[in-house]
Chains A and B, each alone.
Chain A
């Protein structure tokens, strides 16, 4: 059991959520309620990581973050080490491949909030900001929670993109799914089995949690 890899994966999931979820709440809300030019194109772009093979996504990220790209060069100039094959590079990749998983559940949740409820809040004297916190977020909460759970579970499980962008550096970019692959390569089937079982259980627990929470909230709201 590679505890370091598990910790790294959890860290990656946590940071991804902390950065991505607030952004996705604002983006999903705008996409759900506003009609603007290029809305469909934007939605298609944001959903692209769902369909793209992880290696393809990883390849482009490698190009975009590598030391020949402007971003990679600026980063290396500022911090003294390359962005690729580092935890920071991995975090950027993780933010990108998690976009559809973080946005879509939240978008569906906001779409289900009737316009009249926001208007009723305004008529009751609530500012737009208070309406957001007191009415919109509580009603969209099941979707937000689902986005958090799916993002963490998905980060724990992602393999292709991570290997392409981060490689397999112990303590820096070796996440649990890469560690499993690494153990199998070394014929350490026992460790691979323990870690795989752990991932299986986490994924199962995550999915079950989403169903239970949704059901509980649905029953409360009638």
Chain B
């Protein structure tokens, strides 16, 4: 396999514990997600050269930026990074155009003017170059910050919570634009966020960080459907995470049987877990099927679970349903479209039957 455009490996105990390793290719967006204080921003700052970790190695386009073994540490100015800061960090005493010009000091006057015009066009900010940052909206400030970050044709683009300070509508628009820009620039893009929804939409690769360790780096679909551990599952917002015991495998039928309380579940064949072992398992929401009252639907024979609705909370287009599993102290969560809930007469206290699709049940090593 060819070496990725960008690779990083960091390790330190104090002051902030870090154990990070991932790589990112050109034209790829890698999103670092995790709760606040997990080390996301420190990782990003290490890439930029604003923070010097105790040990590790950072390499970008074949050039080494940091290598603790060789006592090599390139200063910020020696690395070719474009960085968009959390609150944009625009220079308040300079106009939008001159904020960009700061990054273009290596160019002549005429060239600089041409490049500024080009960048303003790129971020759809033509005609606003004479405004001061405080005369711009949050979204506009973000565009200028992006233009400034891209001005010097950086070898990597870093974004620290870039959408945290803009409204929902602007955020959606900026997300789309960023996705389009990444194709145009063909450099690795690394973005830090604590917003999983944002992370899933934008990421080619999702890197989940917790307590300074990256627990899993994979495409968002993989992380969501097959998390490496129960911690990752919980961090990405999967609610149905449980513990069970492997009973036996049946390779012919393609099932692994899992004991979950008093219920024996059929799960997709996952022979790497030995019979008798305790495991964590998770089922992503799209694999929970509601049994309809009027007629049976697909997969109803698979792992039926009978219960009572302990909590029913309508939330706009969908309703959140907490199911108390029959005769057991266990709960399942599911989200049901409001119209489906109405047609099936779902409500607090009422009976409910769901199926857990075997192919959706993902088994993980017990933590």
Contacts and interface: CB of A to CB of B under 8 A. Distances in A.
B103 A221 contact: no
Interface in A117-148: 117, 119-127, 130, 134-135, 138-139
B133 A125 contact: no
B93 interface: yes
Contacts of A35: none
Given A221-B134, A222-B133, A121 B92 contact: no
A220 interface: yes
Contact of B82 (A123, A130, A222): A123
Given A122-B50, A124-B102, A126-B77, A138 B93 contact: yes
Interface in A96-130: 114, 116-117, 119-127, 130
Contact of A122 (B77, B86, B132, B148): B77
B89 A222 contact: no
Contacts of B83: 119-120, 123
Contacts of B85: 116, 119-120
A73 to B, nearest CB: 48
B46 to A, nearest CB: 13
A130 B90 CA distance: 16
Contacts of A134: 102
A139 B76 contact: no
A123 B149 contact: yes
Contacts of A126: 77, 102, 105
Contacts of B50: 119, 122-123
Contacts of B92: 139, 221-222
A29 B149 CA distance: 27
B91 A117 contact: yes
A125 B89 contact: no
B151 A124 contact: yes
B135 interface: yes
B112 interface: no
A130 B103 CA distance: 12
A221 B132 contact: yes
Nearest to B87: A116
B48 interface: yes
Contacts, number: 64
Interface in A64-86: none
A121 B90 CA distance: 9
Contact of B76 (A116, A119, A221): A119
A116 B93 CA distance: 15
A126 to B, nearest CB: 7
Contacts of A222: 92, 132-135
Contacts of A119: 48, 50, 76, 83, 85, 89
B258 interface: no
Contacts of B89: 114, 116-117, 119-120
Contacts of A120: 83, 85, 89-91, 148
A121 B102 CA distance: 8
B77 A127 contact: yes
Interface string B26-66: 00000000000000000000001010000000000000000
Contacts of B76: 119, 122-123
Interface in A156-209: none
B152 interface: yes
Contacts of A121: 91, 102
A125 B93 contact: no
A124 B93 contact: no
Given A221-B132, A222-B135, A123 B91 contact: no
Contacts of B82: 123
A127 B152 CA distance: 15
Interface in A5-48: none
B132 A124 contact: no
Interface string B1-32: 00000000000000000000000000000000
Most central of B86, B87, B105, B106 by chain A CB within 10 Å: B105
A121 B103 CA distance: 8
Interface string B148-168: 110110000000000000000
Contacts of A117: 89, 91
B78 to A, nearest CB: 10
A220 B94 CA distance: 10
B189 interface: no
Contacts of B152: 124-125
Nearest to B48: A123
B146 interface: no
A221 B50 CA distance: 26
B208 interface: no
A121 to B, nearest CB: 7
Given A126-B102, A221-B93, 8 more contacts: A116-B85, A119-B48, A122-B75, A123-B83, A125-B105, A135-B91, A220-B132, A221-B92
Interface of A: 114, 116-117, 119-127, 130, 134-135, 138-139, 220-222
16 contacts: A114-B89, A117-B89, A119-B89, A120-B89, A121-B91, A122-B75, A122-B76, A123-B81, A125-B105, A126-B102, A138-B93, A139-B91, A221-B93, A222-B132, A222-B133, A222-B134
Going nearest first, the 4 A-B pairs with the smallest beta carbon separation are A222-B134, A124-B103, A120-B89, A116-B89
